[in-house]
Amino acid sequence: MQVTPTRLPEVLLVEPRVFGDARGFFLESWNQRAFDQAVGRPVAFVQDNHSRSGRGVLRGIHYQLEHPQGKLVRVVSGRVFDVAVDLRRDSPRRGQWVGVELSADNHRQLWIPPGFGHGFLVLSEQADFLYKASDYYLPQDERALAWNDAHLGIDWPLAAIGGQPQLSARDRAAGGWDTAQLYPW
């Protein structure tokens, strides 16, 4: 696998080796030893999640404050624009974001470590989004940051969906950067 730091160096683009021929392809989507070596420390995943969403659905920016989750995310059907936001109070990159396209065709994965918010916008008719999480989902601990917060200035590819995104009620009600609870470290 090839691992490349993004402009937020803790957020890593993971590209597995893909072996293909006329019959299809094979790739190793997960290898504990290789992943731990790539991130420089052991990471224990406790939960796998799968979501399916239609074109224009935007999920996020989500994070858990007391039980932060590291996430290794990938798309197995369709394509999304995936975003990580640095929410660490002491980080020199606090409030900065990085976005990459993940798709079933490019096989890319993104490692979003604890301390970062996460969201994605579905660009295809439908997308199946899978991720491994390093802590359990706790609804009472989840926070959301407004996807369109001016302080963050995330350049979502809205033209690709032909307008405004579809949001959950929770994401429509999410607060902005001025009211966000940041990680204390």
- What does each of the 185 residues of the chain score in pLDDT, given as a tens digit? 899 999 999 999 999 999 999 999 998 899 999 999 999 999 999 999 999 999 999 999 999 999 999 999 999 999 999 999 999 999 999 999 999 999 999 999 999 999 999 999 999 999 999 999 999 999 999 999 999 999 999 999 999 999 999 999 999 999 999 999 899 87
Active site residue 50: no
CATH topology of domain 46-179: Jelly Rolls (2.60.120)
Q: Quote the pLDDT of residue 184.
A: 86
- Tokens 């939960």 sit at which residue? 47
| Every domain of the chain and the residues it spans | 46-179
Q: Quote the pLDDT of residue 119.
A: 98
Q: Measured between alpha carbons, how far apart are the two ends of the chain, in Å? A: 30
- Tokens 């390093």 sit at which residue? 134
Q: Quote the pLDDT of residue 14.
A: 95
Q: Quote the pLDDT of residue 126.
A: 98
155, with CB counted inside 10 A (0-12, 13-18, 19+), is exposed
Quote the tokens at residue 56: 């224009």
SS3 assignment, position 87: coil
Looking at 62, 63, 107, 183, which residue is catalytic?
Answer: 62
Looking at 107, 118, 131, 183, which residue is catalytic?
Answer: 131
pTM of the prediction? 0.95
Active site residue 131: yes
Residue 114 near residue 134 (C-beta atoms within 8 A): yes
